[in-house]
């Protein structure tokens, strides 16, 4: 099985005035295509920082991140944006939907940057929202949707450009148990179709659904199940 994500001596240090705060310490990690990985750890352990690094949302202080063979730590901002657009779908705990746009417009938005014509963007967005059971909510804005519905819109948006990697930062963290299970059932179906899935979670029941559980503490990998 080929490698989708690889980090080599990955380090991230934040500076707060005169103080340096290490968030990641020499993290070496390898994730294969089609894997389903859960990252766990207490608050401040570095798990969300690691996910942001893999998702090209932040730059490492040192070390390397390879995504599908490309060393992203050597890329400029435009090249990183291209990697995010083509390789990665991000699901956020707080949904991060654009509140002035409808569900359909939120899902279609990432496709604008690919050059896809509007009619095809709309068709793709409608298809994804239909798959997620939101055909009757396409014209609703986020404030008109429940938390579970907003997260399903967020997932549809993450899938808009057919990325091979889906990253979820506490994707069920703001949902009730029933809605959270609906979300995880759908993500598991995506994984079975070949998507590489990496989630950060505090919930041991959610983590138990992954193929691998990676534990972090103090910015370092501690053990794996």
The pLDDT of residue 100 is: 96
The pLDDT of residue 18 is: 85
User: In this structure, which topology does domain 3-219 adopt according to CATH?
Assistant: Rossmann fold (3.40.50)
The dihedral sign for the CA sequence 172, 182, 160, 128 = negative
Point out the residues of the chain with pLDDT beneath 70. 1, 224-225
Three-state SS letters, the chain: CCEEEEEEEEEEEEEECCEEEEEEEEEEEEEECCCEEEEECCCCCCHHHHHHHHCCCCCCCEEEEEECCEEHHHCCHHHHHHHHHHHEEEEECCCCCCCCCCHHHHHHHHHHHHCCCHHHHHHHHHHHHHHCCCHHHCCCCHHHCCHHHHHHHHHHHHHCCCCCEEEEECCCCCCCHHHHHHHHHHHHHHHHCCCEEEEECCCHHHHCCCCEEEEEECCEEEEEC
Residue 189 CA to residue 50 CA, distance in Å, equals: 25
Q: What predicted TM-score, i.e. pTM, was given to this entire model? A: 0.92
* Cα 8 from chain centroid (whole Å): 20
Residue 37's nearest CA partner among 191, 177, 185, 203 is: 191
Residue 98 CA to residue 75 CA, distance in Å, equals: 28
| 144-169 per-position pLDDT tens digit | 999 999 999 999 999 999 999 999 99
Tokens representing residue 108 in the block: 């279609």
* Cα 222 from chain centroid (whole Å): 22
Residue 115 CA to residue 213 CA, distance in Å, equals: 38
The pLDDT of residue 195 is: 93
Reported as half-sphere exposure (CB side, CA atoms, 13 A), residue 133 has a value of 10
């Amino acid at each position: 099985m080929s490698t989708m994500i690889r980090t080599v001596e990955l380090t991230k240090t934040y500076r707060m005035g005169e103080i340096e705060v290490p968030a990641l310490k020499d993290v070496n990690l390898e994730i294969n295509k089609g894997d389903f990985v859960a990252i766990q750890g207490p608050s401040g352990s570095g798990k969300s920082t690691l996910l942001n690094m893999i998702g090209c949302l932040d730059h490492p202080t040192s070390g390397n991140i390879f995504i599908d063979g490309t060393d992203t730590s050597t890329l400029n901002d435009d090249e990183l944006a291209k990697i995010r657009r083509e390789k990665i779908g991000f699901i956020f705990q707080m949904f991060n939907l654009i509140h002035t746009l409808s569900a359909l417009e939120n899902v279609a938005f990432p496709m604008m940057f690919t050059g896809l014509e509007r009619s095809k963007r709309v068709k793709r967005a409608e298809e994804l929202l239909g798959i997620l059971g939101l055909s009757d909510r396409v014209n609703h804005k986020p404030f008109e949707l429940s938390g579970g519905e907003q997260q399903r819109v967020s997932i549809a948006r993450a899938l808009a450009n057919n990325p091979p990697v889906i990253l979820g930062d506490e994707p069920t963290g703001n949902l009730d148990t029933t809605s959270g299970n609906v979300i995880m059932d759908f993500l598991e179906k995506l994984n079975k179709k070949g998507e590489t899935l990496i989630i950060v979670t505090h919930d041991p029941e959610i983590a138990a659904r992954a193929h691998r559980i990676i534990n972090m503490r103090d910015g370092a990998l501690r053990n794996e199940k």
